[in-house]
Amino acid sequence: MNPILIELKQKLKKIEELIIDKNDVVYFDYPLHLNVGDLLIYAGTEQFFRDYQINITLRRSLQAFDIREAKKHIHPNTTILCHGGGNFGDLYPLIQKMREEIVTEFPHNRVILLPQTAHFSCRQEMEKSAVVFFRHQDLHLFARDSKTFELFGGRFSDNVYLSPDMAHQLYGSLPNKPQREHPHRTLYFLRKDIEKSHIEAEIQTTLPNLDNVKDWEDILLPSDLRFELWCSRFSKLANRFNLAFVKNIINRLWYRHALNVIARCQDIFLGYDEVITSRLHGHIFSCLLGLPNQVCDNSYGKNTGYFNQWTKNIEYTQLYEK
């Protein structure tokens, strides 16, 4: 067992200490989509609930979230948890709007934002959002890096903490890659979405072929996409007709599917001896699997910020150098 990864997992206990009543907790914005990084956070969060015996009375994705339903489950001592990740800011406005609605509608409940990286491309949007969050007097924000910590502190809340990603709760439950002295098979795990930078293209120009270049979407199957679409549509339909039992069934089915997708990704990663990645969770997943890896940045510095804050002293990982 790696002592640094054990320590990172233990740091998540601070979240449990802030929960008022472990039998009265709701969890919003679990990822009903196929970004596998978010699914790893989701799996780590659910593992956290089990490890600390936290009873979640209501789980809702963005597609299934209804403020009227939430009000029926939220009492004076209810702690509200919002999913962590890298989507705090103006790149993902629907999710940000949902969080703003939560802090506005439940001003007297403890609200905990699980570890996030924040980024605003527009200062005006950042200032507008900060006003909404800072009005809440019992808001606790967990930041995955010092840049986010500085952005949150005194602007979004007075209760701000540095914390590693929720996926670290999975450490010890995943298989470990036997390390070899001379890695010979490299996976290039590179972003293709709105957070990609010039680095991905530069790396690919140095390769003789692109057979070992992948992103999460290259691991997913058509059946995954169909199942996501099915769950999303039925969640929205259940919202329209107030069918809570349908949403609860989808919760269980989607979580099981998320674990299956993670297991498939795990098998692919473990088929390589080294990973070079611009995906933060390509890096974190590799670390959890004991897989040597190099991490390069995304478009706004999320990866190097996380590496320098938490993982730089793990002996089998380093920043990517050209």
Whether residue 210 has pLDDT greater than 80: no
Averaged pLDDT of the chain? 92
Whole-angstrom Cα distance, residue 287 to residue 6? 12
The torsion region of residue 56 among left (phi > 0), alpha (psi -120 to 50) and beta comes to beta
**Residues 29/65, Cβ–Cβ less than 8 Å:** yes
pLDDT attached to residue 299: 64
Between residues 155 and 181, the one the model is more confident about: 155
Span 36-62, pLDDT tens digits: 999 999 999 999 999 999 999 999 999
143: helix, strand or coil: strand
pLDDT attached to residue 212: 80
Domains of the chain: 3-170 (3.40.50)
The model's confidence at residue 300, banded by pLDDT at 50, 70 and 90, is: low
CB atoms within 10 A of CB 157: 21
The arithmetic mean of pLDDT across residues 130-145, rounded, is 96
Between residues 194 and 296, the one the model is more confident about: 296
Whether residue 34 has pLDDT greater than 90: yes
Whether residue 283 has pLDDT greater than 90: yes
The model's confidence at residue 188, banded by pLDDT at 50, 70 and 90, is: confident
pLDDT attached to residue 91: 86
**Residues 185/274, Cβ–Cβ less than 8 Å:** yes
pLDDT attached to residue 287: 96
pLDDT attached to residue 202: 72
274: helix, strand or coil: strand
The model's confidence at residue 131, banded by pLDDT at 50, 70 and 90, is: very high
Spell out the residues 6+ positions from residue 184 whose beta carbon is closer than 8 angstroms to its own. Answer: 273
pLDDT attached to residue 76: 96
- CA torsion sign for 141, 146, 150, 153 is positive
Q: What is the pTM of this model?
A: 0.93
Q: Are strands 79-82 and 160-162 parallel, antiparallel or unpaired?
A: unpaired
pLDDT attached to residue 196: 61
The model's confidence at residue 181, banded by pLDDT at 50, 70 and 90, is: low
The arithmetic mean of pLDDT across residues 299-309, rounded, is 82
Between residues 189 and 184, the one the model is more confident about: 189
164: helix, strand or coil: coil
The arithmetic mean of pLDDT across residues 239-263, rounded, is 96
Which residue, among 11, 25, 38, 87, has the nearest Cα to 261 in the 3D structure?
A: 38
Whether residue 201 has pLDDT greater than 70: no
The model's confidence at residue 297, banded by pLDDT at 50, 70 and 90, is: confident
